A and B are shown apart, each in its own frame.
Chain A
Amino acid sequence: MKLPFIGWHGVITIVAYALFILGSTLYLATRGVSRKNLSSFYLANKGLGPLLLFFTLFATQYSGNTVIGYPAAAYRLGFAWWQSVPYMVLVIAGYLLFAPRLHVVSKKYGFVTPSDWFDKRFNSKAVTLVATLLMAYGLLNYLLEQLVAMGQAISGLTAGVIPYIYGVIFLVTIMLIYEWMGGMKAVALADFINGVVILIGVIGFVLLAWANFGSLSSATQNLIATAPKKVAVPPLQTSVNWISMYILVGIGAAVYPHAIQRIYAADSEKTLKKSLLRMAWMPFFTTGVVFLIGIIGTQAFPGLDKMQSEQLVGMMANVIAGKSAFNYWFMMLLFSGVIAAIMSTTDSVLLSLSSLLSNDIYGKVIKPNADEAEKVMWGKITGIILVFLLLLIAWKPPATLVEIFTLKFEVLIQVAPAFLLGLYWKGLSKTGVLLGMLSGAVLAGGMTFSGMKTLWGWHGGVLGLGLNIVISVVFSLLFPDKKEEQERAEEVYSWVVR
Chain B
Amino acid sequence: MLPYILKRIGWMLATLWVIITLTFFLMHSIPGSPFNEERATSEAVQKNLEEYYHLDEPLFIQYVMYLKSVVTFDFGPSIKKSSQSVNEMLGRGFPVSFELGMATLVLAVVSGLLLGVAAALRHNGLIDYIAMTVAVIGISVPNFVLATFLIQQMSVNLGILPVATWASPRHMILPVAALATGPMAIIARLTRSSMLEVLTQDYIRTAKAKGLSPFKIVFKHALKNALLPVVTIVGSLAAAILTGTFVIEKIFAIPGMGKYFVESINQRDYPVIMGTTVFYSLVLIIMLFLVDIAYGLLDPRIKLHQKGER
Q: Do A and B come from one complex?
A: no
Which residues of A pack against B, CB within 8 Å? Answer: none
